[in-house]
Amino acid sequence: MSVIRRAVDPSMRITTAEFVLGVANLRQLPKDGMKEVAFLGRSNVGKSSLINRLCSRKSLARTSTEPGKTRELNYYLVNKQFYFVDLPGYGYAKLPAQIRSSWGKLIEQYLKMRSQLAMVVQLVDARHEPTELDLMMVGWLDYYSIPFLIVLTKADKLPASKMPRYLGEARETFGRYAHCRGVVPFSSITGLGKSDVLQAVAQHICQDTTQKSGNPAA
Ligand SMILES: Nc1nc2c(ncn2[C@@H]2O[C@H](COP(=O)(O)OP(=O)(O)O)[C@@H](O)[C@H]2O)c(=O)[nH]1
Ligand SMILES: [Mg+2]
């Protein structure tokens, strides 16, 4: 098995993906310096399903009909080159306030300090207006200058006739943020949007590597 770091293929085909680590405490984060793409969104919005679809795997990331289950940052090594990080979902009202507040701290610390983070994929339910917490997360991402892609999940549940209007509204809402890199409708059932998400991932993994190697202080 080769351990040589290869350049990331800009056309991005995912050939291998494996779960490597669940992180409950930021001291446990990997120290190998590999780039990361993190997935952020409320519980049950479809983060695990998106990761599975991108990796063409049925059950790499555990999906659940029971919201609020994932409490850790789950690390998946992709193509032996970079990580997908499934962040714990937010907005699950039934959790005790103390857990919700420790969740907030963990995520904000991670977003703030993680220099390996090349981009965030922020998931929002295609059928609904973004929640207050969705907008707060996007506010953090923008504040910390983290490029993000908005993915509108469960687009298959939206009547096709409504898609142009919903997409237009989302582009207006999120396009205002300096670090928003686009809005993509997505379905983990039909695969709609998969190639767009992969293309954005490839661009940011490559771009970030080039920038950082040209600027060691970054
Ligand atoms: N129809 C439809 N259902 C989806 C889609 N993505 C996720 N789901 C369902 O939504 C529920 C939550 O998905 P999951 O990926 O576990 O969400 P997570 O909590 O954000 O990781 C599961 O029952 C999924 O089958 C999608 O694109 N279309
Ligand atoms: Mg999940």
Note whether residue 71 is domain-resident.
Answer: yes
**pLDDT score of 212:** 43
Report the number of distinct structural domains present in the chain.
1
Note whether residue 87 is domain-resident.
Answer: yes
pLDDT tens figures, 160-187 = 999 999 999 999 999 999 999 999 999 9
Can you give the CATH number for the domain in which 98 is found? 3.40.50.300
Region of 215 please: left (phi>0), alpha (psi -120 to 50) or beta.
beta
**pLDDT score of 211:** 46
Range of the domain at 202: 17-213
Residue 148: how many other CB atoms lie within 10 Å: 24
Task: With beta carbons less than 8 A apart as the criterion, state whether 40 and 138 touch.
Answer: no
d(CA 16, CA 65): 26
Of residues 43, 62, 42, 44, the one with CA closest to residue 52: 62
Note whether residue 156 is domain-resident.
Answer: yes
pLDDT level of residue 93 (50, 70, 90 thresholds): low
**Ligand 1: does its nearest atom lie under 6 Å from the Cβ of 147?**
no
Note whether residue 96 is domain-resident.
Answer: yes
Q: Cα of 54 to ligand 2 centre, how many Å?
A: 14
Strand partners, 78: 17, 82
pLDDT level of residue 6 (50, 70, 90 thresholds): low
**Ligand 1: does its nearest atom lie under 6 Å from the Cβ of 47?**
yes
Note whether residue 139 is domain-resident.
Answer: yes
Measured on CA atoms in the order 153, 158, 163, 169, is the torsion positive or negative?
negative
Note whether residue 8 is domain-resident.
Answer: no
pLDDT of 51 strictly over 60: yes
pLDDT tens figures, 101-160 = 777 888 889 999 999 999 999 999 999 999 999 999 999 999 999 999 999 999 999 999
**Ligand 1: does its nearest atom lie under 6 Å from the Cβ of 173?**
no
- Residue 62 CA: which ligand 1 atom is closest? 16
Q: Of the ligands numbered here, which is closest to the C-alpha atom of 43?
A: 1
pLDDT of 64 strictly over 90: no
pLDDT level of residue 213 (50, 70, 90 thresholds): very low
Task: With beta carbons less than 8 A apart as the criterion, state whether 122 and 47 touch.
Answer: no
d(CA 204, CA 214): 15
Name the strand (E) or helix (H) holding 109: helix 97-113
- Residue 86 CA: which ligand 1 atom is closest? 21
**Ligand 1: does its nearest atom lie under 6 Å from the Cβ of 54?**
no
In this structure, the residue with its CA closest to atom 3 of ligand 1 is: 154
Note whether residue 202 is domain-resident.
Answer: yes
**pLDDT score of 105:** 84
Supply 26's token pair: 């930021």
Torsion angle in degrees (nearest 10) through CA of 74, 29, 83, 106: 60
Pocket test for ligand 1, best of 44, 70, 74, 133 (most atoms within 8 A of CB): 44
Q: Cα of 46 to ligand 1 centre, how many Å?
A: 4
**Ligand 1: does its nearest atom lie under 6 Å from the Cβ of 68?**
no
Note whether residue 127 is domain-resident.
Answer: yes
